[in-house]
Amino acid sequence: MTEPNQLDADAGLTRNGEAGVSARRVFDQARAEAAVRELLIACGEDPEREGLRETPARVARAYRELFAGLYTDADSVLAKTFDESHEELVLLTDIPMFSFCEHHLLPFHGVAHVGYIPNEAGRVTGLSKLARLVDLYSKRPQVQERLTSQVADALVRRLEPRGVIVVVEAEHLCMGMRGVRKPGSRTTTSAVRGLLRTSASSRAEAIELIRGRR
């Protein structure tokens, strides 16, 4: 069993190298409101006009919710595990996912598929925890590749499974609404660990189940 995620008070890093995530981090509502107000002014808007008067407070509250994953320790989601003597694939598909690209703070959204093969003891976790894990890592400023591997690595740490596969399919609004303007283009990322990486037949089974899910 790996050690639980320990927080490094000085560096704000978790022991497993998860950058910038600290359970001590708190959301500063007043600061967020002031920043939104400044942004409106910088854009040439009048934050005192009626329609915008409550906007800084609303936006700050929205960000608090949208970045909720910054304030939770990932391993706590998987704190509860149980032995079910199930040694074959467990796969949760089409988990809705909403995140923010850290480059433009614009949403990217789509679905995640998360699967693992439990270890010899059959250690599993509640199915909802797989979706909670996706939520936790997506509700942060992110890049899709990191989101995908963070979910996989959290499962490796806490369940010590024989294999893990995480696939994320998402559309990035920073590529649709602006910039290169390619709405509808989708990015697929995968993170595969253990047996699902080394065994072609195990991986093929998982991918077939992910592909043929509809």
Residue 101 bears catalytic tag: yes
Where on the phi/psi map is residue 78: left (φ > 0), alpha (ψ -120 to 50), or beta? alpha
The answer to whether residue 174 forms part of the interface with Zn ion (CB under 5 A) is: yes
Per CB under 6 A, the segment of 23-31, 42-50, 110-118, 137-145 that binds ligand GTP is: 137-145
The answer to whether residue 180 forms part of the interface with ligand GTP (CB under 6 A) is: yes
Q: Considering only residues 31, 103, 186, 211, which one is a binding residue for Zn ion as defined by CB under 5 A?
A: 103
The answer to whether residue 145 forms part of the interface with ligand GTP (CB under 6 A) is: yes
Q: Are 157 and 192 in contact (CB under 8 A)?
A: no
Enumerate the active-site residues: 101-104, 144, 172, 174
What residue ranges bind ligand GTP (CB under 6 A)? 101, 103, 143-145, 172, 174-175, 179-180
**From the annotation, which residues make up the binding site for Zn(2+)?**
101, 104, 174
What residue ranges bind Zn ion (CB under 5 A)? 101, 103-104, 174
